């Protein structure tokens, strides 16, 4: 048996060996196609490796796709990377060699292709970026660092309508939901940790008039909470009656990281005290209503606000309170802001606060919107207007405009310098909010949920310019008056018939009002003045018809006139003879 098996076994082995040498892994040569390719940053190209088998005189040459079995490498992976399936992705401008390697008949064999990457997105290459950007993805979707001051890089990858991907990192607008926790380069995507917490990283890409958003998460694992470097009291001093009159101090702390001012009046980090409580006490340790002073006896005392940082350091500020036994001739008992809070949904949106004063004598309640001083805890982002500030004498005070997202404390301060009680001050506060909410689309229903206060949500604020002048012959004592948008009387006084503090009204007067304001111009009765009517088609005229006797009035809604005309800029002439 053994003698018969051995020759046959050797014969069969001799037949099998030439066949085994022709398996798909034992190719003679290798080629990569395309041999050269030019791509833009973010584009991809599929490379193909083709093996040729032809060793042995009795076997014709054959070719086969060996892309999946080859090993792929890039000589400059920072320029273009390549995965195990031969898909190359352009990352940065430059040139790289993509090589496919495998075990051939004579050992390791390889073939290469050249990929050139340009710095901008465009078309070209298999799976190129032709088409408009349809969606935006931030890579990675979540990152974290251990401590403040560490940085990390985010990439913005757009997907076009053709399904191609484009690197838009340097073409999007980057921001974070809280610049106190982390900041990010507006055009780089490089995030920097500032303090412990988590923020939403936002990338906005605008194309063809539409804005596409992508979001990611960035966390700072350790580090102390916000440290304050200074604190300021608003106002710096107050005067109250010793008979229990109250006033309000506001504490604004300055962030050591961002330099922003934060209202810490009612923060648990803040402690209020009075150096002489028997003259004036101050509330402290409450959930709200801290910083309220109450006069108790004649004299002067120092009010101190101390803010304790998480690291144990303390910053403080002092204010002074003078209390007198002399009752003020104009006792403003309290000041209230209506409403207590306003929220808007778009950048450049506005909100109007009103300041209402309560007095101990008539008038018991009065609109002080256009006489108080308005302050904002975040004036660079949420500025608030004061009516006395030119060039808007007609527009109301207390208008806050949102130039960013977040919130601010709005303060109204009424000061009455009077004999016996110098610098009577009352303050009131409210909040203004512009919350950041990114728009989103439900992938199942396609329903779009609108966002608020994100870059690209700007609204146009509209103001109306009103011009008043005299069309008649009288140049000596004619007069037209008009209130502000909150009906504070005589904010506008046009004509030489007005005299106050040695000044007279101008011959042509202008003022700005919010679009849609309804105002009434009045020509009061003036001795020796014959009133001949209004040159403008007023919505309401009194008396009707106009007579020489006064007062005569003209009422108009700016930008919404009954006759349907556009009144965004209005000129009204009054005829005085």
The residue among 222 and 520 whose pLDDT is bigger is 520
Q: Which of 186, 192, 183 is nearest to 172 (CA)?
A: 186
Q: What is the pTM of this model?
A: 0.40
3-state helix, strand, coil split of the chain in percent (to 5) is 5, 50, 45
Residue 315 in this model has a pLDDT that exceeds 90 = yes
Hunting for tokens 């990377």 — which residue is that? Answer: 81
* Max CA distance (Å), the chain: 149
529 beta partners: none
> Across residues 34-63, what is the average pLDDT?
78
* Of the listed ranges 104-113, 191-200, 436-445, 492-501, the one predicted with least confidence: 492-501
- DSSP class of residue 328? P
The residue among 454 and 331 whose pLDDT is bigger is 454
Cβ atoms of 349 and 435 within 8 Å: the answer is no
> Across residues 473-493, what is the average pLDDT?
81
Q: What is residue 388's predicted lDDT score, i.e. its pLDDT?
A: 58
The residue among 230 and 331 whose pLDDT is bigger is 230
Q: What is residue 231's predicted lDDT score, i.e. its pLDDT?
A: 93
The residue among 567 and 42 whose pLDDT is bigger is 42
* Of the listed ranges 6-20, 25-39, 433-447, the one predicted with least confidence: 6-20
Question: Which tens digit of pLDDT belongs to each residue from 114-123?
Answer: 998 875 444 3
Q: What is residue 3's predicted lDDT score, i.e. its pLDDT?
A: 47
3-state secondary structure of 13: helix
* Of the listed ranges 38-52, 151-165, 541-555, the one predicted with least confidence: 541-555
The rounded Cα 441 to chain-centroid distance in angstroms is 21
Q: In which band, very low, low, confident or very high, does the pLDDT at 420 lie, cut at 50, 70 and 90?
A: very low
The residues near 106 (Cβ < 8 Å, ≥ 6 apart) are: 28
Percent of the chain with pLDDT over 70: 80
Q: Which of 571, 532, 572 is nearest to 550 (CA)?
A: 532
> Across residues 306-335, what is the average pLDDT?
82
Q: What is residue 362's predicted lDDT score, i.e. its pLDDT?
A: 64
The residue among 517 and 320 whose pLDDT is bigger is 320
Taken in order 38, 40, 46, 51, is the CA torsion positive or negative? Answer: positive
Residue 366 in this model has a pLDDT that exceeds 70 = yes
The CA-atom distances, in angstroms, between 256 and each of 26, 218, 253, 268, 456 are 68, 21, 9, 19, 29
Q: In which band, very low, low, confident or very high, does the pLDDT at 549 lie, cut at 50, 70 and 90?
A: low
* Of the listed ranges 64-78, 199-213, 296-310, the one predicted with least confidence: 199-213
Residue 127 in this model has a pLDDT that exceeds 70 = no
- DSSP class of residue 125? S
Q: What is residue 539's predicted lDDT score, i.e. its pLDDT?
A: 67
Q: What is residue 22's predicted lDDT score, i.e. its pLDDT?
A: 40
> Across residues 442-447, what is the average pLDDT?
81
Cβ atoms of 54 and 129 within 8 Å: the answer is no
> What count of other Cβ atoms lies within 10 Å of the Cβ of residue 57?
5
Q: What is residue 317's predicted lDDT score, i.e. its pLDDT?
A: 95
The residue among 510 and 409 whose pLDDT is bigger is 409
Question: Which tens digit of pLDDT belongs to each residue from 1-19?
Answer: 444 444 444 444 444 444 4
Question: Which tens digit of pLDDT belongs to each residue from 237-250?
Answer: 888 888 777 888 88
> Across residues 66-94, what is the average pLDDT?
85
Q: φ and ψ at 363, to 5 degrees? A: -75, 130
Question: Which tens digit of pLDDT belongs to each residue from 128-152?
Answer: 334 577 888 898 888 988 878 888 8
* Of the listed ranges 72-76, 103-107, 255-259, the one predicted with least confidence: 255-259
Residue 574 in this model has a pLDDT that exceeds 50 = yes
Residue 489 in this model has a pLDDT that exceeds 70 = yes
The rounded Cα 268 to chain-centroid distance in angstroms is 28
Cβ atoms of 447 and 335 within 8 Å: the answer is no
Q: What is residue 128's predicted lDDT score, i.e. its pLDDT?
A: 39
Q: What is residue 421's predicted lDDT score, i.e. its pLDDT?
A: 38
Question: Which tens digit of pLDDT belongs to each residue from 171-223?
Answer: 888 888 877 788 998 888 999 988 777 888 888 887 655 678 888 899 888 66
* Average predicted confidence (pLDDT) for the chain: 79
* Of the listed ranges 42-51, 171-180, 413-422, 492-501, the one predicted with least confidence: 413-422
All structural domains of the chain, each given as residue ranges with its CATH number in brackets, are 23-118 (2.60.40.10), 133-220 (2.60.40.10), 233-252+261-434 (no CATH), 463-576 (2.60.40)
């Amino acid at each position: 048996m053994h003698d018969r098996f051995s020759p046959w076994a050797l014969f069969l082995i001799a037949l099998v060996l030439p066949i085994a040498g022709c398996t798909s892994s034992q190719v003679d040569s290798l080629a990569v196609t395309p041999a050269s390719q030019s791509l833009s940053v973010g584009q991809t190209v599929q490379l193909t490796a083709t093996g040729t088998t032809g060793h042995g005189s009795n076997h014709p040459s054959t070719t086969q796709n060996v892309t999946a079995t080859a090993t792929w490498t890039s000589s400059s992976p920072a320029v273009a990377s390549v995965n195990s399936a031969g898909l190359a992705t352009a990352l940065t401008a430059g040139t790289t060699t993509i090589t496919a390697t495998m075990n051939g008949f004579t050992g390791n064999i390889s073939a290469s292709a050249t990929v050139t990457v340009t710095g901008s997105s465009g078309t070209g290459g298999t799976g190129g970026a032709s088409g408009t950007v349809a969606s935006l993805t931030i890579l990675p979707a979540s990152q974290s660092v251990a401590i403040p001051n560490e940085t990390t890089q985010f990439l913005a990858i757009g997907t076009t309508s053709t399904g191609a991907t484009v690197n838009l990192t340097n073409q999007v607008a980057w921001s974070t939901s809280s610049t106190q926790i982390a900041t990010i380069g507006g055009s780089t995507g490089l995030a920097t940790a500032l303090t412990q917490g988590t923020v939403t990283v936002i990338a906005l890409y605008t194309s063809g008039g539409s804005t596409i958003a992508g979001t990611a998460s960035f966390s700072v694992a350790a580090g102390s909470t916000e440290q304050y470097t200074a604190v300021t009291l608003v106002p710096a001093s107050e005067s109250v009656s010793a008979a229990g009159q109250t006033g309000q101090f506001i504490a604004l702390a300055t962030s050591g990281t961002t330099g922003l001012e934060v209202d810490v009046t009612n923060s648990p980090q803040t402690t209020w005290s009075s150096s002489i409580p028997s003259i004036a006490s101050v509330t402290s340790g409450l959930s709200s209503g801290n910083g309220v002073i109450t006069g108790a006896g004649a004299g002067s005392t120092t009010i101190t606000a101390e803010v304790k940082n998480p690291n144990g350091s303390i910053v403080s500020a002092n204010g002074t309170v003078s209390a007198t036994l002399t009752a003020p001739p104009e006792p403003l008992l309290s000041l209230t802001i209506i409403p207590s809070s306003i929220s808007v949904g778009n950048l450049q949106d506005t909100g109007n606060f009103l300041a209402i004063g309560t007095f101990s004598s008539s008038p018991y309640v009065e609109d002080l919107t256009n006489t108080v001083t308005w302050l904002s805890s975040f004036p660079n982002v949420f500025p608030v207007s004061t009516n006395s500030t030119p060039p808007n004498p007609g527009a109301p005070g207390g208008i806050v405009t949102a130039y960013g997202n977040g919130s601010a404390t709005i303060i109204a301060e009424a000061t009455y310098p009077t004999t016996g009680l110098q610098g009577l001050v009352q303050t009131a506060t409210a909040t203004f909010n512009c919350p950041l909410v990114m728009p989103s689309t439900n992938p199942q229903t396609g329903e779009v949920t609108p966002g608020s206060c994100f870059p690209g949500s700007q609204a146009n604020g509209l103001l109306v310019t009103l011009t008043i002048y005299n069309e008649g012959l009288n140049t000596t004592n004619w007069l037209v008056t008009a209130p502000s948008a909150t009906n504070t009387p005589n904010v506008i006084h046009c004509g030489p018939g007005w005299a106050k503090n040695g000044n007279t009204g101008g011959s042509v007067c202008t003022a700005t009002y919010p679009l849609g304001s309804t105002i009434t111009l009045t020509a009061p009765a003036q001795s020796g003045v014959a009133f001949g009517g209004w040159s403008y088609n007023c919505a309401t005229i009194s008396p009707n018809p106009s007579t020489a006797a006064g007062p005569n009035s003209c009422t108009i809604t700016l930008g919404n006139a009954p006759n349907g005309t556009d009144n965004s800029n209005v000129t009204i002439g009054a005829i005085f003879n």
